[in-house]
Chain A
């Protein structure tokens, strides 16, 4: 009998002629509601949320359209806010020939992580975190990455860089089974904003389970006399670099139902983390974002900055911008780059950033910069 009644498209035609006995009055009365109760902005819940006393300021921007609850960072063992500035610079020593050797230690581990409040995901991790450690080295150094597999499946570390075939971290060249160890060794080049990820097969599963991370090679100012100042500002540890506010951001997503479509999108794993805890930015110091897209299943991801424009260095392998004055860039999987911008001339306040695929935004990849006056 349900299908004795018109559904969907035909409904409008029949409504015209209709004896709308029961619902008639109700329907027409609600017609206005459907359109009129939507407050401006991103959320319909602003009316309700504004009524509550003491709601966080960022709520004004998204209302009730956000994940419910908080993620337990302590249980996860990593905090997305700390991750932004947590660079792994390894251990530095000098080789017999006088070159610098930088050694990183990375382990592969199975770990259940909370990717959104209350939602657990059986991840495969590097060093127990997703994304893995943000490795940072200097152009020309010899790198040695000691990789141990404590996980349940074979894994590799495949670096996007210049190296020998036997160091490529693919099946047959650096793939290790559980309990095994491999040392990847190569020179840090070219300078830029790169990434590494597991290249064991099947590739999509190993990537989307969480095995990826940033691999940043800072330029050596001595090798770039024409742009020495620029190179120096990119080199971690210099006074020129110290005035920059550098942020490590990995755009990723999780398919919790394993059906080839992502349920959660994020920047640095935790859906909506920077919407709930905005990233503090001092307005008189420039901002540099090392951004990589490792989203599985979707062809591209993007980054959009509100109320501001930035210069973009695709792959970070140049010292002059490859795109000037843009407010949205897109990246295919494994594409990455450096964003440079400043809020020096802006009012303090909350400035949003997110993927400009609305779907990704609304499924968790959205955050805020909390621009504040400098504390001196």
Chain B
């Protein structure tokens, strides 16, 4: 009945004729109907039966959370098989252990279940859990260092908050305290400081993306970790750009706030990683390491202070900016220590990467505006030196904490 439309492209009218909405509805329904019929035919007649060569179904099992407590082990597993998977037996250190699965029965693709085993794990030692499915396939999960998973107690929360304050809030606050000393900065110093901010943010975005991808690689395949990280970072960048550009390019306090937000999201990721390390038993944070983290993050405060050197914001804004940039480290440690699934950490870090990209963009734009479009000034000594110092300082202080 739509013969003329389909055979003659020139028949597509420039101005919609009467009944065009009815026609276009048909052209939405028809392809969907074809798809429905095709799927129905596939299921009803199974024309692909010839491909059923007797091979067992594809199976995939990912452990997302590992909780060690007085009752033994509890593991949150996510199935990713081509068919629902059945966990038939579980070994710990090459011995079969009774287990309870909740909910019991086959685990559908993408679904999760908790399994618990009354296994007497040994503090400080390694254990290996092996899942055996009904087809005899095995999936290994390593517990590199067994320690009790931190539980939510006020004592734990306070001590974790103190650690977070040292890693996140203190260095940012110290950096912001350079504000009065920097206020008298001339144009060259200003350019140096802004370029330094771009440099340190450049280091942070590489670091954040790297960590995000690492978490993503531990997540179940169904989440498509790498695509998720890239798309999330891009979305985060675009949304923040759209929000920040509603009233033109952000400068001054607004820009400082966006820098704080980006750094805060990065510090959330840093906190998540520290918390996850606690949960994974890698919690030997020495004083030396904490001092390393503190030094490493001091430039972040200077970066936040740079855009507001020529405005005079009220005192409380400094505290707010320091909290916005550093506080998420505390939250990150709290969440991370509860051993949450890696895809959530990857997601948080990807959002952070997008936010950092946005502030790199804005601070660079500010630098360009200050140069008045003079590209020679962009390549000037203060700018180049600032970039080098920003990246170099971050890289060198990272040596204190990379092990």
Interface residues of A (CB under 8 A from B): 1-8, 10-15, 17-27, 29-31, 33-35, 37-38, 44-45, 48, 63-69, 116-121, 254, 256-257, 263, 271-272, 359, 362-364
Q: Which B residue's beta carbon lies closest to that of A33?
A: B70
B172 at the interface (CB under 8 A from A): no
User: Do A23 and B402 touch (CB < 8 A)?
Assistant: no
Docked CA distance A363–B93 (Å): 10
Q: Which B residue's beta carbon lies closest to that of A362?
A: B95
Of the candidates B95, B138, B289, the one whose C-beta lies within 8 Å of that of A65 is B95
User: Do A34 and B99 touch (CB < 8 A)?
Assistant: no
B306 nearest CB across to chain A (Å): 25
User: Do B150 and A23 touch (CB < 8 A)?
Assistant: yes
Pull 29 A–B residue pairs with CB atoms less than 8 Å apart, ordered by A.
A2-B273, A4-B398, A5-B277, A5-B283, A6-B289, A7-B144, A7-B145, A10-B403, A14-B284, A17-B287, A18-B284, A19-B285, A23-B337, A26-B151, A26-B156, A27-B283, A30-B123, A30-B148, A31-B123, A34-B121, A34-B146, A37-B120, A44-B120, A66-B97, A116-B132, A120-B134, A256-B132, A359-B95, A362-B95
B67 nearest CB across to chain A (Å): 13
Of the candidates A10, A22, A256, A362, the one whose C-beta lies within 8 Å of that of B160 is A22
Q: Which B residue's beta carbon lies closest to that of A16?
A: B286
User: Do B96 and A363 touch (CB < 8 A)?
Assistant: yes
Known contacts A6-B284, A25-B156, A64 near B403 by CB under 8 Å: no
Of the candidates B88, B136, B403, the one whose C-beta lies within 8 Å of that of A5 is B403
Q: Which residues of A contact B146 (CB under 8 A)?
A: 34
Known contacts A26-B148, A37-B70, A67 near B96 by CB under 8 Å: yes
B46 at the interface (CB under 8 A from A): no
Q: Which A residue's beta carbon lies closest to that of B162?
A: A21
B72 at the interface (CB under 8 A from A): yes
What per-residue 1/0 map shows which CB atoms of B102-143 lie under 8 Å from chain A? 000000000000000111111110000000111111100000
Number of interface residues of B (CB under 8 A): 68
A24 nearest CB across to chain B (Å): 7
Interface residues of B (CB under 8 A from A): 70, 72, 86, 88-91, 94-99, 117-124, 132-138, 144-148, 150-151, 155-156, 159-160, 162-163, 166, 207, 211, 214, 269-270, 273-278, 282-290, 333, 337, 398, 401-403
User: Do A64 and B278 touch (CB < 8 A)?
Assistant: no
Q: Which A residue's beta carbon lies closest to that of B218?
A: A2
Of the candidates A11, A31, A63, A69, the one whose C-beta lies within 8 Å of that of B282 is A11
Known contacts A8-B145, A22-B283, A120-B134, A1 near B89 by CB under 8 Å: no
Q: Which residues of B contact A257 (CB under 8 A)?
A: 136-138
Docked CA distance A63–B97 (Å): 9
Docked CA distance A20–B283 (Å): 8
User: Do B270 and A1 touch (CB < 8 A)?
Assistant: yes
B263 nearest CB across to chain A (Å): 15
Docked CA distance A64–B71 (Å): 12
Q: Which B residue's beta carbon lies closest to that of A38?
A: B120
User: Do B119 and A120 touch (CB < 8 A)?
Assistant: no
Of the candidates B120, B136, B403, the one whose C-beta lies within 8 Å of that of A3 is B403
User: Do A14 and B117 touch (CB < 8 A)?
Assistant: no
Docked CA distance A10–B136 (Å): 37
Most chain B beta-carbon neighbours within 10 Å: one of A29, A66, A68, A120: A68
